[in-house]
């Protein structure tokens, strides 16, 4: 893309890069979940999102660094320099072990045992994990023979599988319907609406937003296995609802103040944007990938996660490409009021549909969806 001689060549590069991103968004959390011990799975599976936010922050800093270069070269360096970490990833993958659960599914139990020894505290723990995986794989193999994977997921799912699909698709839908990607992509326009006329000021505030987002994502990853998925998700979605409503209100006040824009409203807008992306990084940002990769049983995990991530990418593309058009029609404030309502709905969705999976092995998690318990009797919290 950095050396693209034409617009269409640049677009081909974007498509190829997008395919790579699609693979990574589906495989990285799934791989981390299958490799991780139960007690640290939340932290390790959320690391992809942590480094996505770090990458976004580095991108903001790069934009600031390259802003002073001539227009014909600054965007080429900005895109081309991304090839450096991509090469690093390609080399790193060579040394990564295969997922022990995939190895067991393929009958390569001895290899799976060696991987588990490397990722467990002791050989005894590795042996226990291997036995659990082998037992679950045997049971899943019997269920898998009953019907094709996609038929089990979509055409004739059992009640537990239907709940898994609803939970995975729902959390991925709300992750992108929150408007977080659009706020990141179009943050300069959002800050312009908030009254910041100087382009350099907008870039500096965008960097501040990136720092807040990254910090909160790291905090979420650190405490995810201690406090659980549901509390952080509900804190995140509730906080985003309040932040989006505040941003909608402040931008509406600024838009109506044609002669003199009140300073307090400008400050409130900036704080609301930073709070919005921060609450996203506490809840939906990292936990969506964790939850999507751990709730499906072994036989359905790859396809179920792929289905959820496909919805994620579809909604992300739709929101990002329509954000400015819809904002022009209903104003930025109207757009953020819509996001506030969506996040309020997301909070109720989390409370009703998403069980707590903290500290449980992947082999035990699917049993949560098979319970026909009353929500009041469920000591894990949340409706099953």
Tokens representing 191 are 């800050």
Size (the chain), residues? 384
Angle at 71 between CA 66 and CA 75, to 5 degrees: 55
Whose tokens are 């498509």? That residue is 15
Specify the pLDDT at position 250. Answer: 87
Half-sphere exposure at residue 226, Cβ-oriented, CA atoms within 13 angstroms: 5
Would you give the distance in Å from CA 355 to the centre of its chain?
A: 18
Contacts of residue 139, Cβ cutoff 8 Å, sequence gap at least 6: none
* 232-245 per-position pLDDT tens digit: 999 999 999 999 99
Specify the pLDDT at position 243. Answer: 93
Whole-angstrom Cα Rg for the chain: 22
Would you give the distance in Å from CA 273 to the centre of its chain?
A: 18
Question: Residue 364 and residue 295: Cα distance in Å, rounded?
Answer: 9
Domains of the chain, by residue range, sit at: 7-96+147-367
pTM of the model: 0.80
Question: Residue 53 and residue 175: Cα distance in Å, rounded?
Answer: 15
Specify the pLDDT at position 371. Answer: 64
Tokens representing 376 are 């009041």
Alpha helices for the chain (secondary structure H): 7-35, 41-66, 71-80, 83-94, 100-105, 109-118, 123-144, 149-150, 159-177, 180-185, 187-193, 199-227, 229-256, 263-282, 284-294, 301-353, 362-368
Tell me the CATH class for 7-96+147-367.
mainly alpha
Specify the pLDDT at position 284. Answer: 93
pLDDT under 50 in the chain at which residues? 372-384
User: Between the CA atoms of 81, 82, 87 and 90, what dihedral angle is there, to the nearest 10 degrees?
Assistant: 180
CA-nearest of 309, 342, 312, 349 to 326 is 342
Specify the pLDDT at position 211. Answer: 87
Angle at 90 between CA 84 and CA 96, to 5 degrees: 135
Question: Residue 350 and residue 353: Cα distance in Å, rounded?
Answer: 6
Specify the pLDDT at position 196. Answer: 66
């Amino acid at each position: 893309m950095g050396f693209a001689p034409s617009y269409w060549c640049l677009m081909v590069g974007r498509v190829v890069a997008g395919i790579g991103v699609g693979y990574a968004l589906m495989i990285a959390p799934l791989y981390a979940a299958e490799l991780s011990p139960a007690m640290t799975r939340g932290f390790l599976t959320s690391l992809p999102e942590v480094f996505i936010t770090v990458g976004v922050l580095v991108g903001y800093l790069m934009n600031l660094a390259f802003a002073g270069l001539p227009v014909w070269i600054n965007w080429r360096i900005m895109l081309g320099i991304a090839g450096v970490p991509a090469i690093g990833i390609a080399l790193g993958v060579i040394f990564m072990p295969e997922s022990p659960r995939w190895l067991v599914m393929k009958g390569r139990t001895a290899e799976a045992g060696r991987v588990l020894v490397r990722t467990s505290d002791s050989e005894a723990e590795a042996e226990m994990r291997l036995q659990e995986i082998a037992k679950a794989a045997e049971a899943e193999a019997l269920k898998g023979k009953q019907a094709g994977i996609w038929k089990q997921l979509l055409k004739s799912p059992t009640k537990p599988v239907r709940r898994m699909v609803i939970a995975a698709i729902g959390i991925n839908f709300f992750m992108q319907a929150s408007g977080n990607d659009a706020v990141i992509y179009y943050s300069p326009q959002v800050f312009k609406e908030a009254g910041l006329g100087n382009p350099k000021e907008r870039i500096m505030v965008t960097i501040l937003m990136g720092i807040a987002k990254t910090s909160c994502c790291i905090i979420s990853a650190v405490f995810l296995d201690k406090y659980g998925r549901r509390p952080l998700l509900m804190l995140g979605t509730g906080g985003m609802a309040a932040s989006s409503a505040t941003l909608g209100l402040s931008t509406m006040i600024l838009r109506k103040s044609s002669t003199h824009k009140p300073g307090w409203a400008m400050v409130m807008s900036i704080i609301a944007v930073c709070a919005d992306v921060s609450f996203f990084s506490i809840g939906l940002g990292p936990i969506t990938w964790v939850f999507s990769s751990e709730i499906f049983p072994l036989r359905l995990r790859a396809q179920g996660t792929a289905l959820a991530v496909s919805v994620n990418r579809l909604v992300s593309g739709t929101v990002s490409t329509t954000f400015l058009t819809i904002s022009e029609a209903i104003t930025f404030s109207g757009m953020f009021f819509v996001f506030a309502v969506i996040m309020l709905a997301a909070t109720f969705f989390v409370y009703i549909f998403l069980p707590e999976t903290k500290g449980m092995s992947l082999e035990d998690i699917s049993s949560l969806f098979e319970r026909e318990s009353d929500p009041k009797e469920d000591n894990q919290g949340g409706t099953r």
